[in-house]
Structure formats: structure tokens, C-alpha cells
Amino acid sequence: MITLIDVHKARERIKTQIYLSPLPYSETISRMTGNRVFFKLENLQMTGSFKERGALNRLLTLSAAESKHGVIAASAGNHGMALAFHSQRLQIGATIVMPVFAPLIKISRVRQYGAQSVLHGNDYDTALAEAQRLSQANGLTFVSAFNDPWIVAGQGTIGLELYEQNPDLDAVVIPVGGGGLIAGIALVLKTLNPKIKIIGVQSEAVPSMKAALAHGAPVRLPPATTIADGIAVRRVGETPFDLVTKFVDEIVTVSEGEIVNAVLLLLEIEKTVAEGAAAVPLAALMNKKISLAGKNIGLIVSGGNIDMNLIARIIEKGMIQDGRQCRLNVIVTDRPGNLAHLTQCIADLGANILQIGQSRGFGRVAIGETEVELVVETTGADHIQRLRDGLNLHGFRLQPQS
């Protein structure tokens, strides 16, 4: 088990190459949650995530022979990018095995940083098995994304920074995949301040650390899909698990919809791009999965490597869930002027039409009627209800919401 001394040594190794990420206070999120909230912006690292810390620390501890032969890793993306970037800088050959469905931005960045990219399997665990096979076959040093004391020590340097930037934090909320990030931070902060609360957050789809704690040892979960691909690890590592059992207070989970909404909040309110995995701490806080009213809370924004197409879908989905877009199906009499009357009523009720379409021969309409499908921009759930009530008062027949 690593110690605080190991983390201090890691910081000495990596400090000239790693960005000291800021810890800004969020007035708006603090007001919304009833806490004093600070975001640790690890998405601002060169490769867009905290993974650089552990990857660089591990590379700097390789022997001369290991450096000459090169390294290999399995990664959903961020660990691979970090290892590729620093391997290129240190002139160490690197091979990164990634799931076939890894985000395109992460695949392209690994290649841009000069590493050999191998796409294998549908999830991280399948890629991991292939990376371990290639490691043995080709004499490459395998660099785990989380199950390695050097990696954990590197991630723990975030804990040192948090303590120095704000020693008055009452709690820190951290994304959990394989466990390396939370293990390193928890070790540091609990050693320096035993009263601080360390809370981990996972996707409901892949709650591997929560399952491990319930079982008393790491267990392998079945495959599942989540927008938080960076923490979609089906089995946590033994090294971080031992530290988590000793230093972490609680592990909670959040739903896919809650993660989507948190990504949108970070974009809209904090002007911060966060991938799904990085948004889970905010999702947990916003949805009251943790009880920390009136406390100083640090949230780890672990990475910002998210595909632009996915951001567009997240924005649309988040707007719908937040009640700022809705779909209406309205039956109107098929006579001149009725469509214009419908759109004018919607405008008078303060909604903006984004899309409109008509259907006469399909669905639930009778002869002489038309079904109008509209996507409208609204201000929230209350506005949607006022809109529906207002259209009913004007004699329009609305189909049930789907």
C-alpha cells in the first residue's frame, strides 16, 4: 500500500510537466445546492484529463530496459492519450489498446501523439485482456490505468494540491472507475485531515466499486453502456480497492439522465467542457445523492475529452429533460387559417417553434383533420404545462405526451 511519502515523491517527479489546475469557486452552483462548491479543473491538463499525473509518474519510474522496449496500455481514451503524449516526449514507444467504440476524439488524439493505436473489443475489459496478451507476446511493459501503485501515487498529487489550495474543504466528491483517482486523493486528504469526507460517484450502469465494497473484494460486473465511458470499468483494481476500503466514506451512483444534465450545467453555467465521467460528482450533488448541506465541497472535473457530436446530442437531451424543449402533437381541423391560429397561440403563450410537421393520412386523425407535430422551445416544466393548458382553452386537441 502506498503512503503519503510516495505521493510527495511523485509530485517531485512530475511537477515541471503537469499543470497546476485551478480550484475556482462557483457562485451559481453553490446557490443551487446550498453548499460552497469548488471545481478542480483537471480537464485543463494538456491531454484533457487527470490521467497525465499517473501516466507520467509511471513512465519516469521505468528502468532503462523497460523504456527501450516500450510500454502498452488498455484505455477507454484518457489514460491512453496521457501515456501516448508523455511517451512521445520521453521518446518511449507506446501502444494503446482501446475499445472499438471509444470516442473518436480520443482515438485520433492517441494517434496524433505518436502511439500505435489498436482497436479491440466492445468495452474496456476486453481491450484490457488484449493489451495484457500483447504485453506478454511483445515484451512490452504493461501500464495499468489504475491498478498500479505508481499510477495511484501520481493521481494522489491532486490531493496535495487540493489541501494547499483550500485546506477548509469539508468534502471532496470524485468520479470512480477503476479506483486509482479516488484512492490517491483519499489517501492524501484523509492523512492530512482525517475529518474530511471522501465520496465517490459511479454510473448506475457500471457500479463496480460499489459492488466490490458490498462483496468485500473486486468483482466483475456484466457489460453495460454508459455516457460516462471514462469510468465504465467492470472490475476495479486491487491496489485502489484496498485504499478505498480504508479511506473512502461513501460510494453513490447516478443515472444516465442525471449525468447528461450535469454535463449541460457545466457547459451552460460554468462554461466548462466536461465528459460524462467528469460530470458525475456534480450529478450526485445536484440530485441530492449525498447529504452535505452548507459545507465546503470540492468536485473533481476529471476530464473534458468529449466528442462534439455527443455534446450536440447531450445539449438536445438535456434541454428536453430540463423542460426547455418539448414535443406537442395537436389535432386541428384541416381548414385554411387553423395552422396559423395554432402557431399564433403558441407565440402568445411565450414558446418558440423549432420544428413543425403535418400528417393527414397516418395515425389518429379523422377525415377533415390534420395532426401537427411541433418541437417548441420553453423555459421549463411549468411553462410546458401552461402551454398545454392554454392550447386546450383555445379549443385545440392535444395528444398525450410521449
- Three-state SS at 289: coil
Gap between the Cα atoms of 62 and 257, Å rounded: 42
Gap between the Cα atoms of 280 and 44, Å rounded: 17
Of the candidates 257, 253, 265, 244, the residue with the CA atom closest to the CA atom of residue 37: 265
Gap between the Cα atoms of 261 and 337, Å rounded: 39
- Helices 180-192 and 238-247, packing angle to 10 deg: 30
Q: How many CA atoms lie within 13 A of 124 on its CB side?
A: 30
Please identify which of the residues 21, 135, 302, 317 carries the catalytic annotation.
Answer: 302
Contact at 8 Å (CB) between 172 and 162?
yes
Q: Is 302 a catalytic residue?
A: yes
Of the candidates 207, 212, 158, the residue with the CA atom closest to the CA atom of residue 181: 158
- In degrees, rounded to 5, the angle at the alpha carbon of residue 396 between the alpha carbons of residues 392 and 398 is 75
Q: Is 117 a catalytic residue?
A: no
For residue 64, give the C-alpha cell: 532503462
The secondary structure of residue 352, as a DSSP letter, is E
* Sheet arrangement for strand 94-98: 116-119, 94-98, 71-74, 141-142
Q: What are the C-alpha distances in Å from 73 to residues 138, 151, 160, 234, 378?
A: 13, 12, 26, 17, 46
Gap between the Cα atoms of 189 and 161, Å rounded: 10
Gap between the Cα atoms of 175 and 203, Å rounded: 9
Please identify which of the residues 40, 51, 106, 190 carries the catalytic annotation.
Answer: 51
Gap between the Cα atoms of 144 and 383, Å rounded: 50
Q: What are the C-alpha distances in Å from 297 to residues 87, 109, 281?
A: 35, 32, 10
What is the residue type of 213? Answer: L
For residue 82, give the C-alpha cell: 496521457
The H-or-E segment that residue 90 falls in is helix 78-90
* Sheet arrangement for strand 325-333: 352-359, 369-377, 325-333, 397-398
Catalytic center residues = 51, 302
